[in-house]
């Protein structure tokens, strides 16, 4: 009776089953956190609207007054780069196109985009990007937005600003959008908790009821 | 071990004949389980669960020449000027206004908004922002509009007159 003193056998199969089920679930639903060139701390709001997961242009504004542009979707990005290359007369190699499709936000002037895309991914990450020009004389952001909307007509625009970004830069970005007749856009914010949020939620639901 | 306290392979039976020792059909599942949990942990950690919220902003069309602008009674107009250091300067009307200052707390600008809203049903809020203001101020004030359910508000460019008023108030 060797089993007499030892613990009774535990069948671990259900646990393993569950573990693999969860692994599969997370693998299929996971979208990895994108590798952004700047960390942005968004302000919080009581708004409960979710931004769509696909077809979004994200314009990031950081505290150093830099503006970054991002659009999701590999096909959209490929089409966008083709349009940019046509408009500015810059020919990109296949490798550069590939790295543009796979990366996230860009924050370099179009003039130095080719050189930027030619860098190794490691070096590119280390590089301090100067931001996309949004001045009224040289407004490349307007072109990016226009060409992205031509590449994918369904895209929506979201502005992701840092809490400490200055209003001047935000105003430039908003004016750029308004000049292109984009009057409706989203501001990405964090969820706010507390009594304010509860009150606002009740308000929003009441308004929805009225409509 | 995945199989705790198991029989430990086909042992010899007591007093039985000596048989060819069968190799165990039990497989040690420990490495597999380890791997499964490792992957599980990895995916749980990297998944972005809390999706960011968004606030919808609809700006008016830029007025073209010849567009008719609706006229508004200045008594219904509340102007908020977002200044530096998270201050809000506010005044009612346009002619000879009295500038006051408020903050973003619940007893600050929200109280003003709720009071004015109760007083004037046709309240229109103009939000002007100085260049020194932070982006957070803009989001917060839009949020306040939402919380106090002010329906009519607009983000407007600041004018030199407003800057002058704020400067004169010395608040």
Instruction: Check if the beta carbon of residue A68 is closer than 8 Å to that of residue A37.
Output: yes
Q: φ and ψ at A58, to 5 degrees?
A: -110, 120
**Residue B117 forms part of a structural domain:** yes
pLDDT in tens, chain B (171 residues): 454 544 444 444 455 566 777 777 777 778 888 888 898 888 888 776 666 777 888 877 777 776 677 777 777 888 888 888 888 888 887 777 778 888 887 788 888 888 888 888 888 888 888 888 888 888 888 888 888 888 888 888 888 888 888 888 776
pLDDT, residue B134, reads 85
Kindly report the nearest CA distance between residue B33 and chain A, in angstroms. 6
Q: What is the pLDDT of residue A4?
A: 56
pLDDT at A71 over 70: yes
Burial class (CB in 10 A: 0-12, 13-18, 19+), A148: buried
Of all residues in chain B, the one with the smallest CA distance to A7 is B5
From the list A162, A170, A179, A136, the residue with the least C-alpha distance to B130 is A170
Query: Residue A174's closest CA among A152, A190, A150, A158?
Result: A158
Cβ pair B126, B78 in contact under 8 A: yes
Q: Answer yes or no: do B29 and A19 touch at CB < 8 A.
A: no
How far apart CA B171 and CA B164 sit, in angstroms, is 12
Residue A5 lies in a domain: no
- Least CA distance to B134: which residue of chain A? A166
- Is residue B115 a part of any domain in this protein? yes
Instruction: Give A 147-176 residues with CB within 8 A of chain B.
Output: 158, 160-168, 170-171, 174
Please state the ipTM of this predicted complex: 0.73
Q: Give me the helix-helix angle, B135-147 and B109-119, nearest 10°.
A: 40
pTM confidence score:
0.74
A40-65 pLDDT tens trace: 888 888 877 777 778 888 888 888 88
**Total structural domains in chain A?**
1
- Please check whether residue B49 lies inside any domain of the structure: no
Residue B153 lies in a domain: yes
- CATH code (residue B155): 3.30.420
A109: how many CB neighbours lie within 10 A of its CB? 15
**Pairwise CA distance, residues A55 & A59, whole Å:** 13
pLDDT band at A88 (very low <50, low <70, confident <90, very high): confident
Residue A17 contacts B where some CB pair is shorter than 8 Å: no
How many A-B residue pairs are in contact by the CB < 8 A criterion? 173
Count the domains in chain B: 1
Domain-located, residue A192: yes
Residue A26 lies in a domain: no
pLDDT at B1: 46
At residue A171, φ and ψ (nearest 5 deg) are -65, -40
Range of the domain at A201: 53-210
Range of the domain at B141: 74-169
Q: What is the pLDDT of residue A205?
A: 64
| Least CB–CB distance from A12: residue in B29, B129, B135 | B29
**Chain B touched by A203 (CB under 8 Å):** yes
Q: A1 pLDDT exceeds 70?
A: no
Q: Would B14 be classed as within a structural domain?
A: no
Structure confidence by residue, pLDDT tens digits, A94-115: 888 888 888 888 888 888 888 8
Question: Do the Cβ atoms of A190 and B52 come closer than 8 Å?
Answer: yes
Quick one: how far is CA B40 from the chain centroid?
A: 30
Closest CA to A100 of A70, A58, A127, A128: A70
Chain B nearest-CA distance from A68, in A, is 16
| CA B94 – CA B96 distance, rounded (Å) | 6
Cβ-defined contact of B53 to A49 (cutoff 8 Å): yes
Nearest to A173 by CA among A154, A187, A153: A187
Q: What are phi and psi of A157, to 5 degrees?
A: -115, 130
Report the 10 Å Cβ neighbour count for B94.
13
Residues of chain A with C-beta less than 8 angstroms from the C-beta of B36: 16, 19-20, 23
Residue B106 lies in a domain: yes
Which pLDDT value is given to residue B11? Answer: 47
Q: What's the token pair of residue B162?
A: 């407003």
Task: Give a yes or no: residue A46 inside a domain.
Answer: no
pLDDT tens digits for A115-141? Answer: 888 888 888 888 888 888 888 778 888
Give B71→chain A minimum CA distance, Å: 22
Whether chain B has a CB inside 8 Å of the CB on A32: the answer is yes
Are A118 and A107 contacting, i.e. CB atoms less than 8 angstroms apart?
no
Q: Which of A27, A47, A170 sits opposite B54 (nearest CB)?
A: A47
């Amino acid at each position: 009776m060797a089993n007499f003193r030892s613990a009774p056998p535990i069948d671990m199969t259900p646990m393993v089953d569950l573990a693999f089920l969860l692994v599969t679930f997370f693998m299929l639903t996971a979208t990895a956190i994108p590798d952004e060139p700047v960390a942005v701390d968004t302000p919080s709001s009581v708004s409960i609207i979710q931004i769509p997961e696909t077809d979004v242009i994200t314009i990031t504004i950081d505290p150093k007054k830099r503006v970054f542009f991002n659009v999701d979707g590999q096909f959209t990005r490929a089409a966008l780069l083709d349009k940019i290359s046509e408009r500015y007369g810059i020919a990109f190699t296949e490798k550069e196109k590939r790295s543009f499709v796979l990366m996230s936000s860009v924050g370099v002037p179009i003039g130095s985009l080719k050189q930027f895309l030619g860098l190794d991914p490691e070096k590119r990450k280390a590089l301090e990007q100067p931001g996309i020009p949004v001045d009224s004389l040289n407004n490349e952001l307007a072109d990016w937005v226009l060409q992205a909307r031509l590449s994918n007509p369904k895209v929506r625009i979201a502005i992701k600003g840092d809490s400490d970004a200055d209003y001047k830069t935000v105003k430039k970005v908003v004016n750029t959008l308004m000049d292109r007749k984009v009057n409706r856009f989203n501001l990405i914010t964090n969820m706010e908790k507390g009594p304010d949020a509860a009150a606002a939620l009740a308000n929003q639901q009441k308004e929805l009821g009225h409509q | 071990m995945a199989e705790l306290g198991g029989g430990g392979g086909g042992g010899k039976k007591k007093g039985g004949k000596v048989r060819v020792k069968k190799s165990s059909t039990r497989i040690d599942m420990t490495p597999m389980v380890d791997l499964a949990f490792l992957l599980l942990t990895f995916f749980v950690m990297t998944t972005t669960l809390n999706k960011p919220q968004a606030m919808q902003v609809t700006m008016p069309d830029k007025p073209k020449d010849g567009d008719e602008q609706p006229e508004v009674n200045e008594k219904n107009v509340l102007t908020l000027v977002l200044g530096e250091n998270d201050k809000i300067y506010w005044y009612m009307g346009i002619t000879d206004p009295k500038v006051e200052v408020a903050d973003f707390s619940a007893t600050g600008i929200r109280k003003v908004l709720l009071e004015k809203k109760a007083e004037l049903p046709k309240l229109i809020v103009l939000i002007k922002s100085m260049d020194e203001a932070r982006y957070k101020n803009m989001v917060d004030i839009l949020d306040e509009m939402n919380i106090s359910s002010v329906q009519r508000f607009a983000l407007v460019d600041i004018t030199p007159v407003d800057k002058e008023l704020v400067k004169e108030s010395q608040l």
